[in-house]
Every structure is written in structure tokens, then in C-alpha cells.
Structure 1
Amino acid sequence: MMVSTPLLVTFCIYIAGMLLIGFMAWRSTKNFDDFILGGRSLGSVVTALSAGASDMSGWLLMGLPGAIFLSGISESWIAIGLVLGAWVNWKIIAGRLRVQTEHHGNALTLPDYFTHRFEDRSKILRVISALIILVFFTIYCSSGIVAGARLFESTFGMDYTTALWAGAAATIAYTFLGGFLAVSWTDTVQASLMIFALILTPVMVIMAVGGVDTSIEVIRQIDPQRLNIFNNLSVVAIISLLGWGLGYFGQPHILARFMAADSHHSMHSARRIGMTWMILCLVGTVAVGFFGIAYFADNPSQAAEVNGNSERIFIELTRILFNPWIAGILLSAILAAVMSTLSCQLLVCSSALTEDFYKGFIRKNAGQLEKVWVGRLMVLIVALIAIALASNPDNKVLRLVSYAWAGFGAAFGPVILLSVCWSGMSRNGALVGMIVGTLTVIIWKQFAWFGLYEIIPGFLFATVAIVLVSLCGKGPSQQVRDRFHHANQEYLK
């Protein structure tokens, strides 16, 4: 396969730009607080776009349009659920979590926050939550590496193993160099690139087919059920797709953006920016998959790659419809989506290993520079494990993401939601909630009872467990309640 020079040049320029940002962030990283949370200095625009880019991984440009291409508009229920969940997350959790983490030990990580919020001297919350982060994020990281490998495999004709390493190398490098600041600054660039690609590409697809009406008519002739948003969906299936929205409350890489904002007052404008960006991106990705049905029906000779793997639809449409220089920029959007999410996931894993295990149990008096370098080492270790998990070329991006998303949503979602809204939540309630949520997801996934997405029973059972244990057992101390109320009063100002 011949690799076009424009594609190669634009990819190289893009990757070089991300590495340059990583180097600039390296120079701004003075201590571990900077490496993990950027010194809590993010403004509303960076907070919004960084949260969005870290959320929308490779599945946005590969997994979801591929699902729409196969099944039609009925797969868009996922997008509806995500929009609802993200809005509630911004509205209820974002500002409150920013204030609560500062009042409870100036916590840098979720395990650190749980330890101080519930006055957990046994450190069991720190250990359990850090282990959950490591398990599910390693799976999540592997999904990003698979998406990157698919991109390099399709674009440059590499074999899967070579593409795996090529796709992961740049992300690992700038995360290793610059930590949180590098990740947040690059996320802002990558979010801009993603929205540009997801607005321009569906417009070109529609024009190539002959307009919206013509596209819809072509799809109707192929299979009218692909126009039906309820096609082949039971009530349980719709609830499962909408249930993706519950995952937002427990995603550490998104919550870290809230914790890093310069003030909870920034969340109002950040919410508007973030939600506008998200809705435009999701509409664009649904349109790529949907109108791609019509395009490849009109051009069956070009459909071999997409019929072989539907997750390549955005890649193939971009290569076919655009000048190679423009295609290179647009395909960089997939790399942007992969890199933005993978980088912050690596960073959260690094922070859990460094702050919650290394400092917590091995070197309690570790200095700032020592922790920064340990954090960088942990980025490499987690990345290598994720690459090993992603080595199977039959992996599907959306399947890997759905499992990790459910794990975090059920394990941490109810704990975070109740911890920022209810002063009476106890340590034992938090602990039982995490365990119940995690085990429910793992067990439900194996048996797939009722065809219900495992995040829904996991979230429900964890919430019930937290409330019951908190009400029936020993409640939090007055000191913990006072800190909660002081933080809440600051939030309400």
C-alpha cells in the first residue's frame, strides 16, 4: 500500500505539535501538584474542552459511527443518554466536587478525596478505589490504543502490531513529559480539531450523495427500518443505551478536570461551552454513520474496507472524499480523540499509583520531584500493560469502552454523587457502595441478565447500598459534617 506524502506530512506535523506542547508543559511543571492537577489553574474554556476531549475517545469517530452504519439511527440513543448524563454531571457535580476536594485535604486524586472526605484512617478506601482505577483504566487505555492502531493500520498500511506501537508512542511521550498541563493544553487543541472534522465530514458526505432528501431515500430503499429510531429495540435496550449517561458521574479522567478548575465559578461558562461542543460532535458522528450508509450503497466498489470493519467508516469516507492534505488533517482528529483520552487515563493511573500507593504506603515522605519522576515511570508501566491487552487485533473499541465505562460509573458514580450532596454519607457506606457497584458490573457482564447494560443495576445497587449502610451504621463525625457544610456554603456563594 502506497502512503500518500500529504497524509504522512500532516500526521508528523500534528504529532510534533503535541510533543512541543508536552515540552512546554514540562518547563511549567514545578511539583507533583502541577503534574497531576496543573496547580488547579484551568480556566473555563480549557476546563470545558479538556473535559470533552478526554471524554470523547476513539469511539466517537470509530465505534459510534460504525454502530450507526450497521444498525441505523436507532443506535443514536447512546448519544441522547450521554448528553443528558453530561449535563447533569456539569450541573450537579462539577462545582461541588471542585470545592469539596479543596476543603477535604486539598485532594489531588479521587482516592485521596475519599480518604479525607470520609476520614478513613484505615486507608482501605484509598486502596480499593485505586485498584478499581487501575483495573478499569487499563481496559479503557487498551481501547484507545486499539483505536490508534486501527487508524495507523488503515492509513499507512502497517501491520497491526507495528500500528499498535506507533499509535501509542506519541501519547505516552507527551504525557510522560508534561503531565496534566500537557494533557489539558493538548486536549484543547484536539477538541477543536475533532469538532472541525465532525462538522465538515458529514456535510461532504451529504453533498456527495446528492443532499439530505436523496440520502434518506437511498437508505429507505436499502432498509426502511434504519430510519426508525425504535428499530429492533425493546424497552430494556433503550434503557440500556440511555444508561450510558450514568457513567459520567464516576469517570476519574473527567472528574479530574473539575478538580483542576481555577474556581467553581468557572463551571457555569464551562458547562455551556462543553455541552455545545459535545452536542455538535455527537450530531456530527451520528451523521457520518447514518449518511455513510447512503454513500456506500451508491458506491459499492469503495465499500470493501467498511464492510470488513464498520469502525473504519470515518477513515474511509475521509480518504475518499477529501484532498489528501485535508484528509490528513481530518484523520488527525481520530488521533486527537485517541490521544486526548488515553493521555488523561494514563495520568490518572499514574496518580493513583504514585499518590495512593507509592506515597501512601512505600515512601510517605517522598519529595515533590521524586513523586513527579515516579509518576512518569508509572505512565510507562501502565501504557505497556495496556498495549499488551490491546495486542489482539479482533478487539472492538466500543466493546472495551462500554465495559470500563460501566465499571467506573457503577463503582464511583453513586459515591461521588452522594458525597457532594449528602453530609450524612459514611465511610462504610462509600466502601460498600464501591464494592457492590464493581462486583455487580463484573457479574452482570458475564451473565447479561435481561440484556440490560450492566451499569444500570450496578449504579442502582451501589446507591441503595450506600444509603442503607450510611443510615444503619455509624455516621460521619461532626468534624467531617462541618467541613462538608463549609464547602457547600462556599459553593452556594
Structure 2
Amino acid sequence: MIGIIAAFIIYFGVMIYIGFFYMKSTKTANDYILGNRSLDRRVAALSAEASDMSGWLLLGLPGLAYVSGLSEAGWTAIGLAIGTYLNWRFIAKRLRVYTEKANDSITICEFFKNRFGDKKAYTSAISSVFIIIFFVVYTAAQFVAGGKLFNSIFGLDYFTGMIICVVIIVAYTLTGGFRAVCLTDTIQGMLMFFALLIVPLIALGMLFSDGAATIATINPDMLSLFKDPGTGEFISVFLVVSGLAWGFGYFGQPHIIPRFMGIQNPEEIPQARRIAMVWVIVTLASAIFIGLLGNIFFSTPLDVPETVFVQMTTSTLFSFIAGIVYCGILGAIMSTASSQMLVASSAISQDLYKTFFNKNASETLLLVISRITVIIVAALAVTISLDPNSSVFGIVSVAWAGFGATFGSVLLLGLFWRKATWQGALAGIVFGGVVVIGWYLIHPIIFGGYLYEMVPGVIASMLAIYLVSLKTTPDKEVTDLFDAYVAEIGDRST
């Protein structure tokens, strides 16, 4: 274990050092929340994807593929790849330009308020509430993954491992803010890429050396996008729709889209998009392959399917190299949790406290409140993640749907529809969030299948925005701002 522990100590040391390094230059809330819009295209690309995928990519998705094959994991991955491309292609530059023109908005809630001319900031307030609700849940999923990781590697008690993970994440998020989070995300993204490539290749080589015939023993239905490997029957159309619906979630993720807002030069977004797409396609494919390979690599079924990647790493690599791969898994967890806590802190300090309680709050006070909020969100998430039997994939799916339905519809129509009003946006946020939560709690079965809560949530949100906007009228300054943004985007088309 000495080599593994050495790798972890080096990794933790680098992460914390980055946080304290950027602490010196983090003097305002803008620095802390958006890094003063100074991100390099490579950092923006890798940071966005690393904060997106989380421990779900290295634990949840391989575990899903290990249990259900391609029939569920495959459609989810396809939806995510499509969503990633559409987000970078049609949202990134528009959001970067529009947020700067809309009174230099530095949070997504502030952008909603400025874009729709919501003078009383109702959209900002309600958005902040949903951010806190869903991000506490989402952050909890990362803590669950961290607890499982430390338990699998070191045999530590689940709770002890989780607390170690929480302390490290809070340390560098608390000190360095947005730039520290983005740089650590970039390092973690490269580690994740390395880990997802090397482990399955070595495992496959070991299988071939033992006899290629073992590969033929896999259930052929595990490799089918259309058949349930358990029953051999064709899957429900709802499962396909639900998997693809994950792609829509990208449009509303408050921990991903700030990377678009923070990129230094909007003209670099096409290059960033290409980097992001290569990373996403390779890592998603590798994660699923690991899950499928696990069915023949392990002669005895795993008690905890979501640890298939960890167990495969233990069986294929040695000492320090295995430690680096484990750090890649931990990096996936930490990159997302830190981004989520940062966004939640901005929602409270900027969109609630400054807007409604102290409009003249100093930058120093807002910075302090942001950091205190990080600790509060972490504490709330820990209470949710106390159960070691919680599913990382299940928790993430609820939060992902919540943000997709709550913010995705509003952001899309806000960027592309001139007549959208603040009343319509508010209705969309409320209906999207409530329907997702209600659908999840009721868990209705339709025609023998379950439909992912993202789908009804998005439909409800879109209809609410459209119908309410038809009955209301946007102010002239709102449409003038929209026209100015469209004109600038036209000059910068990609």
C-alpha cells in the first residue's frame, strides 16, 4: 500500500497547493465565482467535462453497464455525447456573449434576472432555491462515491473515507475559488482520461493471455442496445427515450455552463469544443467497456457493481501506478463536488443575500459569505450521503433531471426566443422543478415502463414558458438587449 498512499499524498498536496496559490489573487466575489472571465480554452474544455462527469463516470456508469449492458448505459452515453456537442455548438458562445452584455452577469441566476428584465428578481430567487436543493443532492452523490472509493481501496470505514474526501474538496474550494477549481478540474480530467484508457486495455490483455475463449462467454444481449440482458426481451421505448433525454440536461447544469461564461475569448470556443468532444467520447466509451468487460474478468459476481472499475484496477495494476488511477477516480468525484459547492455558494451570496438583503454589500463580505456557504452545503450533503448503500447513478440522475428541466428550457428559450418574458421564465423554472420532484416521488409506470423524470419535467417547463410568455409582453429594453446580442453573435458566428 506504500506506493498507493504515496500517490494519494502527492495528489492531495497538489490540489491543496493550487487552492492556496489562487487564494492570493482571489480578492472579489467575481474572482471567486467566475475567475474574472480569464479561462484558457483548454482549461475551459477539460474543466467543463471533468466537472460534468463526476464519480458517476468511473463508478456509476461502469456499474450500470456491468449490470444492464448496453441497453441502458449505451443510450445514456449516446444522449450525453449528443448533449455535449449541442451545448458547446449552440449554447457556449451565445451564453458567453449574452451574459457579458446583460450587465456582466456572473451567475446563471443573475443572468435570468438581467436577460428577462425581472426587476424584482423573482427568477433569481426561485432559481437559487432550486440550485441549493438539487446541488445538495448532487454533491451528496459525490460524497457517496468518495466513501465507496476509500472503502474499496483502503478498507476504511465508509463514513471515515467519505469525511476524508469532503475535507480535501472543501479545502481547495474554500481557498482558491473558480480558478483553483478549474485548474484542478483540468488535472483531474487528464487523470480520468488516462485511468479509463489504461485499465481496460491491460485487463483485456490479461484475458487474451489466459484464453480468448473466455470473451465468448459473455451474454450476447449485454452487447445489444435493444435487448434486456436479464430477460432477452426487447427493451421499452421509454428506456431509449429516457437514456437520450440525459443529453438535454446539459443545457441547464449550473456547474458546467459557467465554464462557457468564464472563457477569456469567445472566438476560442470552437477549439475548446473539439477538445471536449474527444474527451467525452473516449471516456464514455471506455467507462461502458469496463462495465461490460467486468462480467468476464471477474469469475465471481461483484457485491457492489459500482466498484467494478476500482476492483479491476486493483487486479491489473501495482502500487504507485494503481494509486495514480485511483487518484483519477477521486479526481472525478472532487472536480464535480467542488464545482457544485462553488455554484451553490454564488447562488446564496450573489443571488439571494446581495439581491434581497444587502444590495450594497462589499466584495469582502460577499467573499466571506460564499466561503461559509461552501461549508454549509458540504455539511448538508454529508447528511444525505450517510447511507453506504446509496446508488451514485440514482442520486445523480435525479439532480441532473432537476437542472435540465428547471434551467435548460429557460436558458434555451432565453437565448433563442425574443418574446420570452420573465413571467414565462419564472413559470418554466417552477413547473420544471416541481414536476421532476413529483415524478420522482410518484415513480409512475406507463405502459409497463418507467419514463425518466427529465422528459415530463422539460415538457412542463417548455409549455409553461411558451404559454405564459404569449400572455405577457417583454419590456422594450429587454428586446433591445436581445437584438444587440443577436447582432453581435451574427458577427461572431461559428
Q: TM-score normalised to the size of structure 1?
A: 0.95
CA contact (8 A) 2:405 2:457 kept: yes
Name the counterpart of 1:364. Answer: 359
Post-superposition offset of 1:362: 2.2
Post-superposition offset of 1:355: 0.4
Post-superposition offset of 1:220: 4.5
Q: Does 1:118 align with 2:113?
A: no
- Cα distance in structure 2, aligned partners of 1:196 and 1:157: 25
Name the counterpart of 1:381. Answer: 376
Post-superposition offset of 1:123: 1.6
SS in 1 for 2:298: helix
Deviations 1:437-473 (A, max 9, x none): 11111111122232100101111121122111112x2
Q: 1:162 aligns with which of 160, 163, 167?
A: 160
- Cα distance in structure 2, aligned partners of 1:296 and 1:261: 44
- Cα distance in structure 1, aligned partners of 2:269 and 2:413: 19
CA contact (8 A) 1:85 1:245 kept: yes
- Cα distance in structure 2, aligned partners of 1:386 and 1:256: 22
SS in 2 for 1:62: helix
Name the counterpart of 2:313. Answer: 318
Post-superposition offset of 1:70: 1.1
Name the counterpart of 2:217. Answer: 221
Post-superposition offset of 1:263: 2.4
Q: Does 1:391 align with 2:391?
A: no
Post-superposition offset of 1:138: 0.3
- Cα distance in structure 1, aligned partners of 2:405 and 2:100: 24
Q: 2:248 aligns with which of 238, 246, 249?
A: 246
Q: 1:444 aligns with which of 422, 439, 456?
A: 439
Q: What runs of 5+ residues in structure 2 fail to find an aligned partner?
A: 229-234
Name the counterpart of 1:281. Answer: 283
- Cα distance in structure 2, aligned partners of 1:118 and 1:445: 30
Q: Does 1:7 align with 2:9?
A: no
Q: 1:26 aligns with which of 23, 29, 42?
A: 23
What residue identity is the alignment partner of 1:492? G
Post-superposition offset of 1:239: 0.8
Name the counterpart of 1:99. Answer: 97
- Cα distance in structure 2, aligned partners of 1:240 and 1:257: 27
Q: Does 1:290 align with 2:288?
A: no
Name the counterpart of 1:195. Answer: 193
CA contact (8 A) 2:217 2:296 kept: no
Name the counterpart of 2:226. Answer: 230
SS in 2 for 1:386: helix
Q: 2:406 aligns with which of 399, 407, 411?
A: 411
Post-superposition offset of 1:219: 5.2
What residue identity is the alignment partner of 2:65? I
- Cα distance in structure 1, aligned partners of 2:332 and 2:370: 23
Q: Does 1:464 align with 2:460?
A: no
Name the counterpart of 1:60. Answer: 57
Name the counterpart of 2:231. Answer: none
Q: What runs of 5+ residues in structure 1 fail to find an aligned partner?
A: none
- Cα distance in structure 1, aligned partners of 2:138 and 2:24: 29
CA contact (8 A) 1:69 1:310 kept: yes
Name the counterpart of 2:232. Answer: none
CA contact (8 A) 1:219 1:226 kept: no
Post-superposition offset of 1:369: 1.5
CA contact (8 A) 1:220 1:227 kept: no
SS in 1 for 2:306: helix
CA contact (8 A) 1:219 1:227 kept: no
CA contact (8 A) 1:432 1:465 kept: yes
Post-superposition offset of 1:32: 1.0
Q: 1:42 aligns with which of 19, 22, 39?
A: 39
CA contact (8 A) 2:3 2:319 kept: yes
Q: 2:176 aligns with which of 175, 178, 185?
A: 178
CA contact (8 A) 2:66 2:295 kept: yes
Alpha carbons of structure 1 residues 287 and 408: separation in structure 2 relative to 1, 3 Å: same
- Cα distance in structure 1, aligned partners of 2:78 and 2:211: 23
Name the counterpart of 1:354. Answer: 349
Post-superposition offset of 1:163: 1.1
Name the counterpart of 1:152. Answer: 150
Name the counterpart of 2:479. Answer: 481
What residue identity is the alignment partner of 1:228? S
CA contact (8 A) 1:264 1:491 kept: no
- Cα distance in structure 1, aligned partners of 2:101 and 2:407: 20
CA contact (8 A) 1:99 1:488 kept: no
Identity percentage of aligned residues: 42
CA contact (8 A) 1:152 1:158 kept: yes
Q: TM-score normalised to the size of structure 2?
A: 0.95
Deviations 1:362-409 (A, max 9, x none): 222111122111111111111111111111112110000000000000
Post-superposition offset of 1:222: 4.4
- Cα distance in structure 2, aligned partners of 1:86 and 1:404: 17
- Cα distance in structure 2, aligned partners of 1:308 and 1:167: 23
Deviations 1:231-288 (A, max 9, x none): 1221111111111111001000011111111122121111111111111111111111
- Cα distance in structure 2, aligned partners of 1:274 and 1:353: 30
CA contact (8 A) 1:23 1:177 kept: yes
- Cα distance in structure 2, aligned partners of 1:225 and 1:46: 39
- Cα distance in structure 2, aligned partners of 1:177 and 1:351: 14
Deviations 1:27-48 (A, max 9, x none): 1212111100000011211110
What residue identity is the alignment partner of 1:488? V
Q: 2:328 aligns with which of 328, 333, 357?
A: 333
Q: CA RMSD in A?
A: 1.4
